[in-house]
Amino acid sequence: MIDARIAGVSLACALGMLAAAGSALGQAPSALERCLLDRLQAAAPGVTVDEVRRACAGVEGPGPETPGPQAPDRQGPGAVPPLAVARPAPELSSSPAERRIVSESRLWDERFALLPHRPNYLLPFAHASGAPGSGGGDIQRNEVKFQVSFKLPLMPPLFEGRAGLFFAYTGQAWWQAYNDERSSPFREYSHEPEVFAAWRPALGPILGWTPRVASAGFVHQSNGRSGELSRSWNRLFAELTLDRPDGWWLSLRPWWRIPEDAKTSPESPDGDDNPDIERYAGDGELRLGYAAGQQRWTLTARRGLREGGKGAVQIDWSRPTGFSPQLRWYVQLFDGYGESLIDYRARLQRIGFGVMLNDWY
**Active-site residue list:** 220, 222
Q: Is 119 helix (H, G, I), strand (E, B) or coil?
A: coil
- Do you know the residue count of the chain? 361
Q: What share of the chain is helix, strand, coil (3-state, %, to 5)?
A: 20, 35, 45
Give the Cα separation of 66 and 60 in Å (integer): 8
Cβ atoms < 10 Å from Cβ of 59: 20
Smallest Cα–Cα separation from 229: which of 185, 173, 189? 189
Strands (E), 129-231: 142-153, 163-175, 186-199, 210-222
Contact 52, 41 (CB under 8 A): no
Side-chain-side CA neighbours of residue 216 (13 Å): 4
